[in-house]
Amino acid sequence: SGSGAAGEAVSGAQLIAESLKAQNIEYMFGIVGIPVTEIAIAAQAVGIKYVGMRNEQAACYAASAVGYLTSRPGVCLVVSGPGFLHALGGMANATMNCWPLIVIGGSSDRNQETMGAFQEFPQVEAGRLYNKLSVRPSSLEAIPTVIEKAVRTSMYGRPGSCYIDIPGDFVNLQVNKSSVKYVECCLQPPISTAEHSAVSEAVSIIALSKQPLLIVGKGAAYSRAENNIRRLVDLCGLPFLPTPMAKGVVPDNHPNCVAAARSTALQHADVIILLGARLNWILHFGLPPRFRQDVKVIQIDICAEELGNNVRPAAILLGDINAVTKQLLEEFSRRPLKYPSNTEWWKKLREKMMKNEERSKALALQKSLPMNYYTVFHHIRELIPKDCILVSEGANTMDIGRTMLPNYYPRQRLDAGTFGTMGVGLGFAIAAAMVAKDRTPGKRVICIEGDSAFGFSGMEVETVCRYNLPILIIVVNNNGIYTGLDADAWKETLKFGDPATCVPPVSLLPNSHYEEIMSAFGGKGYCVKTPEELQSALKASMTDKQTPSLINVMIDPQSERKKQEFPWLTRSNL
Ligand code: ADP
Ligand code: MG
């Protein structure tokens, strides 16, 4: 005991661990080093699961995915200076996605501040732009209060990231327990409902609609509104469209899902019920030409500042998605409404869906080698379990995968998200596997990535193997970003001189054996070039439920998504 006084002493590291535990934090991801190693050890001692990663970026993505999957923030633990800076991407990504997250960063000792200390950096100031809260406790005694506030702030209102700065000299410093103000676990986030008049107005607008559309966003997934949204769709017969990460809130194979007619649905809807999605780039800002000029938007969100962004809404319902959906259901039970399934609107949507599905099918069944994206996803779809968690990133790999791989359950698709971040895949997959192990044992995590996306965090394969997480990674390998060169074209290109002046910036080394990264750490690696090889690798890795595996799928480096109907769609990722 360093305090010398009577009574039990406690260190800064222990106080941090105990305070996190008191706030029901279950998972911590990070990279240890001076000055935070003791914090990770103390966390394990109180029963928090600690996963050591290979780059702070991936650790921070992992911690943020825990927040989305469990509604309670995960913690990312990083060292000072560079460690902290590497985690900024994860903080920004979490805040952009509206996911709760806690980052704890060690910083230089207080008595060396401004002297050019080891890894000194103005971390609290730098954290401010990426976090809802960026703070340093003023003393050891204040740690429990600050941690409670950070956890609460990360979850209340619109969720986001919170940063806590811990001076290095705090970690091993000791205080007497009796001087510490311990704080209980914060209350669950309050659930707010919309004004009754707004609910009633919304129902009147929906009742007059000729071409309604329900858009389900990842806010709906986060608020766990799946049962009530499903009821709303069934009760009112509304066509619905999930945004990428809202896939599965209502299953993709529900007859009212119009995802395969996305453009048509957005372009012609006269009333849109927007459930937890922002009218940002993902939804083309809610503006023409993607939307009607006169579209009436009924906007439902927990964040008042979001209401009215880009489009003046016809009705605004401020509140929790699940609670407001329940309010809508109650109003509809008083004023029943069933949108008929034989309208011109449904006919138009169904025709479009059929046409689009046929086009994808034709591409999927092409027999030529090397394979195209559609063929690859067709076989993956046939052989993976319906209830697996899908992690997806890359350009074409993510975009085409989204249309080809259905989700049947909520919160089981994780991708580049609002911020369009590449490199999230491995971190997300590791977090999903950790959470699945505790909550839904046996559920598989399948991470489907482009070769470029895989490169950002490829060394996390070692993390996957170290914790023996039975993740299947599928690298859809086209030798590049968007497109690449085949081996012959690569050789020709090199004849022009210095690779730095003649290799196309989108190109990566052709025919890279990414599967060997997996076998290097004891997992199973497969390299496949044909549908038959792909099928047998998929079957083998689905049968072996214990071993991490990676299937490197060599595809046509020039394979692309099918032609878009409108020129203004080709630049967009959607
Ligand atoms: P997507 O990427 O699916 O389009 P966004 O991330 O753009 O979705 O939007 C999600 C929205 O959901 C945000 O505006 C956020 O404020 C909101 N949100 C988050 N949680 C809740 C909740 N519990 N109830 C209502 N809205 C929520
Ligand atoms: Mg690629």
Q: What is the mean pLDDT of residues 491-496?
A: 94
Residue 572: the pLDDT is: 40
Confidence band, pLDDT 50/70/90 cuts, at residue 7: confident
Percentage of residues of the chain with pLDDT beyond 70: 97
Q: What is the mean pLDDT of residues 187-203?
A: 98
Residue 562: the pLDDT is: 66
SS3 488: helix
Ligand with an atom nearest the CA of residue 397 = 2
Q: What is the mean pLDDT of residues 39-66?
A: 98
User: CA nearest 297: which of 256, 309, 325, 345?
Assistant: 309
Residue 571: the pLDDT is: 41
Structure confidence by residue, pLDDT tens digits, 148-177: 999 999 999 999 999 999 999 999 999 999
What is this structure's pTM? Answer: 0.96
User: CA nearest 425: which of 477, 469, 461, 379?
Assistant: 461
Nearest Cα residue to atom 18 of ligand 1: 219
Distance from the CA of 277 to the center of ligand 1, in angstroms?
5
Residue 568 has pLDDT above 90, yes or no: no
Q: Measure CA 15 to chain center.
A: 31
Indicate which atom in ligand 1 lies nearest the CA of residue 418: 2
Which residues sit with their C-beta closer than 6 Å to ligand 1? Answer: 97-98, 158, 217-219, 222-223, 243, 245-246, 276-278, 280, 282, 301-303, 306, 320-321, 418
CA–CA separation, 380 vs 535, rounded Å?
8
Confidence band, pLDDT 50/70/90 cuts, at residue 563: low
Q: Mutate which of 301, 310, 327, 418 to test ligand 1's pocket (most atoms within 8 Å of Cβ)? A: 301
Residue 461: the pLDDT is: 98
Distance from the CA of 15 to the center of ligand 1, in angstroms?
34
Residue 559: the pLDDT is: 86
Confidence band, pLDDT 50/70/90 cuts, at residue 564: low
User: CA nearest 68: which of 534, 455, 414?
Assistant: 414
User: CA nearest 68: which of 249, 299, 273, 309?
Assistant: 249
Residue 570 has pLDDT above 50, yes or no: no
Nearest Cα residue to atom 21 of ligand 1: 219
Alpha helices (H) along 411-450:
425-439
Residue 284 has pLDDT above 80, yes or no: yes
Q: Mutate which of 69, 188, 321 to test ligand 1's pocket (most atoms within 8 Å of Cβ)? A: 321
Residue 523 has pLDDT above 60, yes or no: yes
Q: What is the mean pLDDT of residues 66-89?
A: 98
* Half-sphere exposure for 402 (CA within 13 Å, toward CB): 25
Task: Tell me the residue type at 251.
Answer: P
Pairing relation of β-strands 161-167 and 133-135? parallel
Residue 2 has pLDDT above 80, yes or no: no
8-state DSSP, 411: T
Q: What is the mean pLDDT of residues 232-248?
A: 98
CA–CA separation, 422 vs 491, rounded Å?
28
User: 143-155 vs 12-22: helix axis angle to the nearest 10?
Assistant: 40
Q: Using alpha carbons only, what angle is made at residue 215 by residues 212 and 220, rounded to the nearest 5 degrees?
A: 140
Structure confidence by residue, pLDDT tens digits, 298-314: 999 999 999 999 999 99
Beta bridge partners of 521: none
Indicate which atom in ligand 1 lies nearest the CA of residue 323: 24
Structure confidence by residue, pLDDT tens digits, 548-560: 999 999 999 998 7
Distance from the CA of 147 to the center of ligand 1, in angstroms?
25
User: 344-364 vs 396-404: helix axis angle to the nearest 10?
Assistant: 120
SS3 126: helix
Residue 451 has pLDDT above 50, yes or no: yes
What average pLDDT is seen over the chain? 96
Indicate which atom in ligand 1 lies nearest the CA of residue 301: 26
Confidence band, pLDDT 50/70/90 cuts, at residue 567: low
* Half-sphere exposure for 427 (CA within 13 Å, toward CB): 37
Distance from the CA of 457 to the center of ligand 2, in angstroms?
14
Residue 204: the pLDDT is: 98
Q: Mutate which of 69, 71, 98 to test ligand 1's pocket (most atoms within 8 Å of Cβ)? A: 98
Q: Quick one: tokens of 467?
A: 């914790």
Q: Using alpha carbons only, what angle is made at residue 153 by residues 147 and 158, rounded to the nearest 5 degrees?
A: 155
Task: Tell me the residue type at 153.
Answer: T
Distance from the CA of 556 to the center of ligand 2, in angstroms?
10
* Half-sphere exposure for 189 (CA within 13 Å, toward CB): 22
With beta carbons less than 8 A apart as the criterion, state whether 531 and 368 touch. no
Structure confidence by residue, pLDDT tens digits, 323-346: 999 999 999 999 999 999 999 999
Q: What is the mean pLDDT of residues 56-82?
A: 98
Q: What is the mean pLDDT of residues 398-424?
A: 97
Indicate which atom in ligand 1 lies nearest the CA of residue 158: 16
Q: What is the mean pLDDT of residues 279-306?
A: 98
Nearest Cα residue to atom 14 of ligand 1: 278
Percentage of residues of the chain with pLDDT beyond 90: 96
Residue 5 has pLDDT above 70, yes or no: no
CA–CA separation, 297 vs 261, rounded Å?
19
Residue 454 has pLDDT above 60, yes or no: yes
Q: Quick one: tokens of 500?
A: 């730095």
